[in-house]
Chains A and B, each alone.
Chain A
């Protein structure tokens, strides 16, 4: 990624769009502090991520929820264990270990409430690998919410879910972000869903910001330009 200048205000809802290899995932990892820039810097709530030591960086990361494309849940865990795992980074060593092995009543209640919020309260005690792809993605959202995060990042959160359920999952993410005042940044493959549901679009192409505007200001020409296949793109793909 090169000369990227991006500022996202607290509580904003933003979609990252662009062709494969444009740098959407790298951008999210920079924002999450799991990738450090070799030039320039990323800030979260005023904290310069590259200046933090390992413990402080962990603390910052524990306040950022992350929903991955797939597979990030532990398949043999019960749904509630995966949800409660969201708080692992925020607890003392023994409290964290105990919450995985013998969760407290209040943890279970909270996990149950969050699973109810994402629409699958009845799955609380089921094995995660017995759930469908869409249900697993809802567990992942509940896990991110269990962190009580300040921001929610999502890397292609609906790439492995069918189109109808994709809209439902994205709407859910947007709604929970709104009601909790969370910043939501999601990378999306499906430009139609991004335009339909997200008020701000950031277009990335070849590691640069191609456009950054309110959705209604982004016209078809800008999008065609964003996804245009040119000689260079073909070269770098092949």
Chain B
């Protein structure tokens, strides 16, 4: 059947559908641009806050428990370091859990040999489906919700904070790793199979190395996300950068808030530079 050039194609219809869905969602939520115009008090606050951006504090503004100005950077520097350490601990745990789960969830792992007997494959299917469900469970709850739950369960415990980030991150890593393994080029693995290499070695040395550059680049990106999550956990009272952001903002000490924000920015930029360096080495 010939289609008239003016007639919308299926792809066009899908795009129109997505657009309509967006409009419908906006209507249901009652989104009005006028709602974003602040009242006069809010405008004053916003002006004060953004004006402070140009003049971040180097010392703690006097007041409350500290009558004299005290240097701010050592304290915030330590908080930035703690933010990084929380994120690093959470990422290490996520990789330890996410990598094996991702391998078991991939199709490649189960189809790595054309000689696997049907019985193993059936049992494997069941395990794979179970693991995929488990991964979805870990991923579907956001780290902030895990933080609330763990805060209630174990109190303001460092390991609780690390777990709150590690659980959903391990799930996300597992999901993405399994997809990267399934999409990795097969040529080396096939060549290894052709010269009698054991299925496990075909996977480890023929397939995994083809997916590894992507997996490492993605992990580096997730590390950056983990630093942000770790900073935000400060809002719950963990001594990361977010703690100082929320405390100083609540007290109206905006200059200090900006110092913390700039430190977070510096941390993220540093990680970005680092992950780019790793990536360029991997892709040679």
- Chain A residues at the B interface, C-beta cutoff of 8 Å: 32, 34, 54, 57-66, 68, 70-77, 85-86, 88-90, 93, 96-97, 100, 127, 129-130, 144, 147
Q: Which of B188, B196, B197, B282 has the most CB of A within 10 A?
A: B196
Q: How far is the CA of A96 from the CA of B197 in the complex (A)?
A: 9
Q: How far is the CA of A59 from the CA of B196 in the complex (A)?
A: 6
Produce 1/0 per residue, B151-184, CB < 8 A to A: 0000000000000000000000000000000000
Asked if B195 and A93 make an inter-chain contact with CB atoms under 8 angstroms apart, the answer reads no
A66-B191, A76-B209 known; A96 vs B201 contact (CB < 8 Å): yes
CB of B212 to closest CB in A, whole Å: 6
Asked if B39 is at the interface (CB within 8 A of a chain A CB), the reply is no
Asked if B60 is at the interface (CB within 8 A of a chain A CB), the reply is no
Q: How far is the CA of A96 from the CA of B199 in the complex (A)?
A: 12
Q: How far is the CA of A60 from the CA of B194 in the complex (A)?
A: 10
Q: How far is the CA of A32 from the CA of B196 in the complex (A)?
A: 10
What are 27 inter-chain pairs, A to B, with CB distance below 8 A? A57-B115, A61-B196, A64-B195, A65-B195, A68-B191, A71-B185, A71-B188, A72-B188, A74-B206, A74-B209, A74-B210, A75-B210, A76-B213, A76-B284, A88-B195, A88-B205, A89-B192, A89-B195, A89-B197, A89-B198, A90-B196, A93-B200, A93-B201, A96-B198, A96-B201, A100-B205, A129-B284
Asked if A77 and B195 make an inter-chain contact with CB atoms under 8 angstroms apart, the answer reads no
CB of A55 to closest CB in B, whole Å: 9
Residue of A nearest to B283 (CB): A129
Residues of B within 8 A of A58 (CB): 196-198
Residues of A within 8 A of B194 (CB): 32, 34, 61, 66
Residues facing A in B49-80 (CB within 8 A) are none
Q: How far is the CA of A74 from the CA of B197 in the complex (A)?
A: 14
Asked if B212 and A76 make an inter-chain contact with CB atoms under 8 angstroms apart, the answer reads yes
Residues of A within 8 A of B187 (CB): 68, 70-72
- Specify which of A73, A100, A147 is in contact with B195 (CB 8 Å cutoff): A147
Asked if B193 is at the interface (CB within 8 A of a chain A CB), the reply is yes
CB of A164 to closest CB in B, whole Å: 25
CB of B50 to closest CB in A, whole Å: 47
Asked if A54 and B205 make an inter-chain contact with CB atoms under 8 angstroms apart, the answer reads no
Q: Is the interface of B mostly helix, strand, loop or mixed?
A: helix
Asked if B198 and A93 make an inter-chain contact with CB atoms under 8 angstroms apart, the answer reads yes
Q: How far is the CA of A27 from the CA of B284 in the complex (A)?
A: 37
A74-B206, A130-B284 known; A60 vs B196 contact (CB < 8 Å): yes
Residues of B within 8 A of A68 (CB): 187, 191
Q: How far is the CA of A64 from the CA of B209 in the complex (A)?
A: 24
CB of B180 to closest CB in A, whole Å: 14
Q: How far is the CA of A127 from the CA of B205 in the complex (A)?
A: 15
Residues of A within 8 A of B204 (CB): 97, 100
Q: How far is the CA of A49 from the CA of B168 in the complex (A)?
A: 49
Q: Which of A60, A63, A72 has the most CB of B within 10 A?
A: A72
Asked if A77 and B209 make an inter-chain contact with CB atoms under 8 angstroms apart, the answer reads yes
Asked if B190 is at the interface (CB within 8 A of a chain A CB), the reply is yes
Produce 1/0 per residue, B18-61, CB < 8 A to A: 00000000000000000000000000000000000000000000
Residues of B within 8 A of A90 (CB): 196
Residue of B nearest to A100 (CB): B205
CB of A174 to closest CB in B, whole Å: 21
Q: Which 4 A-B pairs have the closest CB atoms?
A: A89-B196, A62-B196, A61-B196, A72-B191
Q: How far is the CA of A48 from the CA of B192 in the complex (A)?
A: 22
Residue of B nearest to A149 (CB): B195
Residues of B within 8 A of A100 (CB): 204-205
Residues of A within 8 A of B195 (CB): 61-62, 64-66, 86, 88-89, 144, 147
